[in-house]
A = this chain, B = another copy of it.
Amino acid sequence: MEQSLDLNEIRAQITETDQQLLKLFAKRRSLTLNVAKSKAHQVRPVRDQQREQELLIRLIKQGKELGLDAHYVTSVFQTIIEDSVLNQQAYLQTLTNPNLQLPMVSVAFLGNKGSYSYLASHRYFSRRAEKIIESGCQSFADIMQQVEAGHVDYGMLPIENTSSGSINEVYDLLQHTNLAIVGEITQPIEHCLLTAVNTRLDNIKTIYAHGQPFTQCSNFLDKQHDIRIEYCDSTADAMAKVYELQDETVAVIGSEEGGHLYQLHALEKSIANQDENHSRFILVARKPVDVAEQIPAKTTFILATGQKPGALVECLLVLKEKGINMCKLESRPIQGRPWEEMFYIDVEANLKSAAMQEAIGELTELTKFIKVLGCYPIEHISPTSVPAAEI
């Protein structure tokens, strides 16, 4: 009895410590926002990796004196630094694009509450808007139309997945739209087998899911016998269906986080072929955004070269000569013109930069068709590395 009282006392102290931690996180965030404000009129980049590294090395040394190991200090401060960088970038973006500072945004995404697109939308806007008006759609084309027609501000579209590759349907839709890409976000995809009632894996006879999760969990599914597969338009639809059935013989493939919304529980976790699985989403809007010069930017454009041999290589040489790094190249057939290809190119460059303006000029002369789909902040913040010797 006395021991359990002790435990309550310790837990009260942990709760107290957590409150203090939260307050310090909030204080640190407002301090780094002040740093961003002082940098607003300079063209210095938000990140100074040299400074970050020195900071981490100092913290590791001080942490050791307090009995904290280097790996813990590194990993917790990498998260704190990432938050600080993303927050400074979001602030600088609202200075460059005053119309982005909205308390409320409306977003169209695939499926319903709980889909991976829903989770990505909420994560993207969590530091950018106070309230999100959700608009679940049944297809990628619907999402585009919702934005084009002005029914919503933004559309969230998955564009590629580390395990199953590019999502061709979205690439094809981008060929025929006037919408601009204004942002990106990478969402971890953690497939679980979820059920509405307590059951066992041997009892499952039917699995509901979207086509992508099926492909990504093929090894797990191959090992199950006598299972019927029901394709759904989205993960959320599949979840709603399984919730409705309340049947111990049915399950759905989806995220645990999303499944909570349908009172589903994980029967099996991590059932994907690859342990680590991420989807990159793009955010589209009717108007393009400018990216503040202090922020790393990505520009996406499409081009068609015609059937001249070596034409693509010439285009890539232009980028190389301007010192512009290409981070993605994807080709898609042009509808109605067999053997002709449209190339989708992502580069790490700000559209406003002199190098990029010159490159676009030269590419226009080399190609039959070229269109910039958008320029937007790079969302991925690579963690500051620390020399192994310091650890």
Binding site for B on A (CB under 8 A): 3, 6-7, 10-11, 13-14, 17-32, 34-35, 38, 55, 59, 62-63, 66-73, 75-77, 79-80, 83, 113-114, 118-119, 122-123, 126-127, 162, 256-258, 260-261, 269, 274-278, 382, 385-389, 391
Contacting pair A17 B28 (CB below 8 A): yes
Closest Cβ neighbor of A327 among chain B residues: B270
Q: In the assembled complex, which residues on chain B have CB atoms less than 8 Å from the CB atom of A385?
A: 256-257, 260
Nearest-neighbour CB distance to chain B for A316, whole angstroms, equals 11
Q: In the assembled complex, which residues on chain B have CB atoms less than 8 Å from the CB atom of A21?
A: 21, 24-25, 28, 80
Q: In the assembled complex, which residues on chain B have CB atoms less than 8 Å from the CB atom of A257?
A: 385-388, 391
Nearest-neighbour CB distance to chain B for A19, whole angstroms, equals 7
Q: In the assembled complex, which residues on chain B have CB atoms less than 8 Å from the CB atom of A391?
A: 122-123, 126, 257
The distance in angstroms between the C-alpha atoms of A34 and B9, with both chains bound, is: 11
Known A10-B34, A10-B38, A24-B20: A276·B162 in contact at CB below 8 Å: yes
Q: In the assembled complex, which residues on chain B have CB atoms less than 8 Å from the CB atom of A73?
A: 22, 25
Q: In the assembled complex, which residues on chain B have CB atoms less than 8 Å from the CB atom of A80?
A: 21, 76
Contacting pair A24 B17 (CB below 8 A): yes
Known A71-B126, A256-B385: A35·B19 in contact at CB below 8 Å: no
A-B contact pairs, 9 of them (CB 8 A): A14-B28, A17-B24, A18-B28, A22-B59, A22-B62, A25-B76, A26-B66, A72-B127, A276-B277
Known A19-B62, A22-B66, A387-B261: A123·B275 in contact at CB below 8 Å: no
The distance in angstroms between the C-alpha atoms of A387 and B259, with both chains bound, is: 8
Known A6-B38, A26-B66: A18·B59 in contact at CB below 8 Å: yes
Contacting pair A388 B114 (CB below 8 A): yes
User: What number of copies of this chain does the assembly contain?
Assistant: 2
The distance in angstroms between the C-alpha atoms of A274 and B83, with both chains bound, is: 25
Q: In the assembled complex, which residues on chain B have CB atoms less than 8 Å from the CB atom of A29?
A: 67-68
Q: In the assembled complex, which residues on chain B have CB atoms less than 8 Å from the CB atom of A386?
A: 257
Nearest-neighbour CB distance to chain B for A280, whole angstroms, equals 10
Extra inter-chain contacts (17) besides given A22-B62, A79-B79, CB under 8 Å: A10-B31, A10-B34, A14-B28, A14-B31, A14-B32, A17-B28, A21-B80, A23-B66, A24-B24, A29-B67, A29-B68, A71-B127, A113-B388, A119-B388, A162-B276, A275-B278, A276-B278
Q: In the assembled complex, which residues on chain B have CB atoms less than 8 Å from the CB atom of A258?
A: 388
Contacting pair A162 B35 (CB below 8 A): no
Nearest-neighbour CB distance to chain B for A6, whole angstroms, equals 6
Nearest-neighbour CB distance to chain B for A384, whole angstroms, equals 10
Q: In the assembled complex, which residues on chain B have CB atoms less than 8 Å from the CB atom of A269?
A: 382
Nearest-neighbour CB distance to chain B for A310, whole angstroms, equals 15
Q: In the assembled complex, which residues on chain B have CB atoms less than 8 Å from the CB atom of A62?
A: 19, 22
Contacting pair B387 A7 (CB below 8 A): no
Closest Cβ neighbor of A275 among chain B residues: B162
Q: In the assembled complex, which residues on chain B have CB atoms less than 8 Å from the CB atom of A79?
A: 72, 75-76, 79
Closest Cβ neighbor of A75 among chain B residues: B79
The distance in angstroms between the C-alpha atoms of A147 and B3, with both chains bound, is: 42
Closest Cβ neighbor of A325 among chain B residues: B268
